[in-house]
Chain A
Amino acid sequence: MSRARWTLAVAIALTLLLAWFVLYPIAVVGAEAANGTAWHDFLTRPGEWAALWASLWISLASVVLAAAIGIPLAFLFEWFDFPGRKTLGALIALPVVLPPLVGVIAFLFLYGESGFVARAIQALFKLEQAPWRLQGPLAILLVHAYSMYVYFYLFTRAGLARLDVSMLEAAQALGADRRGTLWRVVVPLLRPSLAGAAILTFMTSLGSFSAPYIFGGGFRVMTTQIVATKLNGDLPLAMVETVVLASVAVVALLILRRTEGNDILVALGKGIAPRPRPIRRAGVRRLTTIAGWGLAVLLLLPHLTLGLVSLVPYGAWTTEILPPVINFDNYRRLFSEAERLRPLLNSLWMASASTAAAVLLALVAGWLVVRQRVALRRVIEGLLVLPWALPGTVFAIALAIAFSTNAPLQLRFVLVGTAVILPLAYLVRALPLTGRGLLAAYRQLDPSLEEAAASLGAGRWRTLARVTLPQLRPGLAAGASLAFVAALGDIVASIVLYTYETRPISIEILSSLRLAETGVAAAFGVVLMIVSAVVLGVGARR
């Protein structure tokens, strides 16, 4: 077979494979939902409309809150200099890299009704019962704001760092004061960054599952509604709900992308970013420093609490403010009892397998899309990023339905209940992460490096191993570590698709919580946090 034909064959094979497990399950759900009778149920039950409305307003409110926290923080850390600026600046970006479930249970242990803060207030004012119950929409919003301000913080800082100082100087030379410069120059130039953060926050909130699941109580959003319907066995209705959520996500994404404006704004700024201004007045400087450190402690407090709770043995902590006993009992149980170790090993191998597969597919896709520029490149790229645009619940339900029937002629097999389905679900969610990282790295790779290797006598495989892969390594490692951590902490797909044998960490955390074994749940959370941090640290190394 000639070279070009071989390339085309690989391109077609990859496209069909991706379409089979990314697009096809959703198409199956769409088709079955369209034929079903559940639309009537959906349209007439008030609970359904309430959940849809809740998803929308919670997402919008999350964007507003996250922006309100993240943007001022970004300006503070990018434009002003005070002691500890660099360390703090990195620390407060931490929540973004940790699995949402870890943040949620950490929040529960800190601000929940039997959490630290509640106990302290109860003891302080000698109250009969906990001063509040952390439940309902406000609790969800609090958790969202806490974890998603980081998007605004990071995007705004990146935007500010790209800003050309000479543009600010030009505005001042033309007579604009500080406020005028901010509103007429800085904010318009930041627009693409802010819009990007808003899109990411909105889409993440819309797909958010662990916060509404744990803090929602009777308050349902679409993601928790879908899973509840599925667990009740009302599959036709779950499919309709899934189609509705997917449609809302796509429409929202299309509307939000229009706010991004054009990239020319960004491309123009090629100068030097403004240098951070030292704060000169001693009082203000001290105040800023204290506020900065205070904020960092506040933001990291949930994770510190998680660490503490993990050290409290079962049943030892009842009414005291501080735990009376701390030891490593929970960790010992976690690693010595086979039934507790199982979820950890499950999560590790399933995350590794899905990440390896996602990296391999991304590599082939990168080669086809960037290097060979095959005719199908837009389709391949679209399939790679599609899972990013739709909430995880949509894919979980789609896979659950498409692969619970044996119909080989329709390319449907019974995978639900086997060890394959969870890694496959993780793989779908991993594709945008490894795909984007790899395509970006491939696009930056100078083609003459590969030509140089060829002219020096290196064949295709030697060039791949000695030149291409080492050059792609940073993008590959970044994408792979994000994918691994996402799979390790996944709850959305797991809760729909797990079996007792394949149960991952997140499911074990939930069942520990249900049995009031908070210490074990926290210990799992800490392990998850540490493994994630290590993997991401390795992935970010240049």
Chain B
Amino acid sequence: MSGFLEIRGIEKRWSPDVAVGPITLDIARGEILALLGPSGSGKTTMLRLLAGFEAADEGRIGVGGEDVTAVPPARRRFGMVFQHYALFPHLDVGENVAFGLHGGGGAGVEQKVSQALALVDLTGFERRKVHELSGGQQQRVALARALAPEPRVLLLDEPLSNLDPTLRERTRRELRHVIKRIGITTVFVTHEQDEAFDLGDRIAVLNGGRLEQVGVADELYERPVNLFVATFVGRANVFRGRAARDLGGEPTPDGQVLVVRPERLQFGASGLPGVVRELRYTGPATFFLVEGEDGERFEVLAQPDAARIDERVHVAATRVIVLPEPGPRR
């Protein structure tokens, strides 16, 4: 497979022990790719390599067949929305959006600015001061500014992390809507699984500078390739030894562990015995924290009235994932 945005063995070495990559990824034209990982996983470095703010030590980046590895950010034609937006405080909204548009004369620029602002639902905001805007409006101005010069690729660094949680969910849908309407190839960085699932067409999971898995949401969730992806993407119970045998029905091979999602466990007449220690009510369903006979603790997601605290229960699994026990890294 070859994509519109091609990342080939890209690598950045900060020091002998700290490096990002090598990473190879293909992103199709119009696709939204999420770079998901914990802090320090290299996702922001990856984005900055794409933008050209960091120079790669190895590898190649191509866009539509053109090698842009050595092209400076100013001539790369990648739009970027920064985590704190980086709106120019001494310019008003219109001037910010017009910053990347040069040539073409005044009227053309003005028209493009108003088109870009209309796209993010901020028509008529041209002469507003940046600091007068709310966080959500600033985020949209940053998006309009990045999109106005019609870049080839859009890069977003934690685009929603500065918004409060209620606004975040709505903005997420709007953001996806705008990007899909333009059809621009997009890469964004996030450390939140919900955001990656909601906004991204595909998700690349990074950890310790390495690409762990790339795929659509249900692939990562149902068929994680290793224990890191299984536990980082969604909630997961990990079972070893006797508990794993009780749940899986047969002994787990050496060096393997059993992973079961909380919603794939259910209370029943037989299975793994344990005692309910805590409840966490979330509305539609309740998390039951169960302690097994060997002291292992795990979560079961079930109807709120499925069990009570201190009740002795048996737990069975409807779907298990068998994964290799992680060895020492590298």
Contact flag A459-B74 (CB < 8 Å), given A452-B80, A452-B82, A453-B99: yes
Q: Which residue of A lies closest to B78 (CB)?
A: A455
Q: Which residues from chain A contact B72 at a C-beta distance below 8 Å? A: 454
Q: Which residues from chain B contact A446 at a C-beta distance below 8 Å? A: 84, 86
**Are B99 and A471 interface neighbours, CB within 8 A?**
no
Complex CA distance for A457 and B76, rounded to whole angstroms: 8
Which 4 A-B pairs give the minimum distances between C-beta atoms?
Answer: A456-B100, A452-B86, A448-B86, A454-B73
**Are B90 and A470 interface neighbours, CB within 8 A?**
yes
**Are A471 and B89 interface neighbours, CB within 8 A?**
yes
Q: Which residues from chain A contact B149 at a C-beta distance below 8 Å? A: 456-457
Point out which of A454, A455, A458 has the most chain B C-beta atoms below 10 A from its C-beta.
A455
Q: Which residues from chain B contact A466 at a C-beta distance below 8 Å? A: 88, 99
Q: Which residues from chain B contact A449 at a C-beta distance below 8 Å? A: 86, 88
In the assembled complex, the CB of B270 is this many whole angstroms from the nearest CB of chain A, namely 58
**Are A457 and B80 interface neighbours, CB within 8 A?**
no
Contact residues of B between 151 and 204, Cβ < 8 Å to A: 155
Point out which of A448, A451, A452, A466 has the most chain B C-beta atoms below 10 A from its C-beta.
A452
Q: Which residues of B contact A (CB under 8 A)?
A: 51-53, 72-80, 82-84, 86-90, 99-100, 102, 145-146, 149, 155
**Are B84 and A457 interface neighbours, CB within 8 A?**
no
**What 6 additional pairs, Cβ within 8 angstroms, besides A452-B86, A470-B90?**
A448-B86, A451-B51, A452-B87, A455-B73, A466-B99, A471-B88
In the assembled complex, the CB of B79 is this many whole angstroms from the nearest CB of chain A, namely 7
Q: Which residue of B lies closest to A456 (CB)?
A: B100
**Are A451 and B73 interface neighbours, CB within 8 A?**
yes
**Are B86 and A456 interface neighbours, CB within 8 A?**
no
Complex CA distance for A456 and B102, rounded to whole angstroms: 10
**Are B75 and A467 interface neighbours, CB within 8 A?**
no
A 433-468 binary contact with B (CB < 8 Å = 1; else 0): 000000000000010110111111111000100110
Choose from A448, A463, A467, A473 the contact partner of B82 (Cβ within 8 Å): A448
A-B contacts, CB under 8 A, total:
62
In the assembled complex, the CB of A460 is this many whole angstroms from the nearest CB of chain B, namely 8
Q: Which residues from chain B contact A454 at a C-beta distance below 8 Å? A: 52-53, 72-74
Q: Which residues from chain B contact A459 at a C-beta distance below 8 Å? A: 74
Q: Which residues from chain B contact A453 at a C-beta distance below 8 Å? A: 88, 99
Point out which of A457, A458, A459, A471 has the most chain B C-beta atoms below 10 A from its C-beta.
A457
**Are A457 and B74 interface neighbours, CB within 8 A?**
yes
Q: Which residue of B lies closest to A470 (CB)?
A: B90
Q: Which residues from chain A contact B51 at a C-beta distance below 8 Å? A: 451, 455
Q: Which residues from chain A contact B53 at a C-beta distance below 8 Å? A: 451, 454
Q: Which residues from chain A contact B83 at a C-beta distance below 8 Å? A: 448
**Are A456 and B82 interface neighbours, CB within 8 A?**
no
**Are A457 and B77 interface neighbours, CB within 8 A?**
yes
Q: Which residue of B lies closest to A455 (CB)?
A: B80
Q: Which residues from chain A contact B80 at a C-beta distance below 8 Å? A: 451-452, 455
Q: Which residues from chain A contact B89 at a C-beta distance below 8 Å? A: 471
In the assembled complex, the CB of B50 is this many whole angstroms from the nearest CB of chain A, namely 11
Complex CA distance for A449 and B142, rounded to whole angstroms: 11
**Are B90 and A448 interface neighbours, CB within 8 A?**
no
Q: Which residue of B lies closest to A458 (CB)?
A: B74
A 267-278 binary contact with B (CB < 8 Å = 1; else 0): 000000000000
Q: Which residues from chain B contact A455 at a C-beta distance below 8 Å? A: 51, 73-74, 76, 78-80, 146, 155
Choose from B52, B84, B99 the contact partner of A456 (Cβ within 8 Å): B99
Complex CA distance for A453 and B73, rounded to whole angstroms: 9
A 259-292 binary contact with B (CB < 8 Å = 1; else 0): 0000000000000000000000000000000000
Complex CA distance for A5 and B80, rounded to whole angstroms: 29
Complex CA distance for A135 and B104, rounded to whole angstroms: 72
In the assembled complex, the CB of A179 is this many whole angstroms from the nearest CB of chain B, namely 43
Q: Which residue of A lies closest to B97 (CB)?
A: A456
In the assembled complex, the CB of A495 is this many whole angstroms from the nearest CB of chain B, namely 42
Complex CA distance for A471 and B87, rounded to whole angstroms: 12
In the assembled complex, the CB of B314 is this many whole angstroms from the nearest CB of chain A, namely 53
Complex CA distance for A466 and B72, rounded to whole angstroms: 19
Q: Which residues from chain A contact B77 at a C-beta distance below 8 Å? A: 457
**Are B90 and A457 interface neighbours, CB within 8 A?**
no
Q: Which residues from chain B contact A473 at a C-beta distance below 8 Å? A: 90
In the assembled complex, the CB of A462 is this many whole angstroms from the nearest CB of chain B, namely 8
In the assembled complex, the CB of B47 is this many whole angstroms from the nearest CB of chain A, namely 11
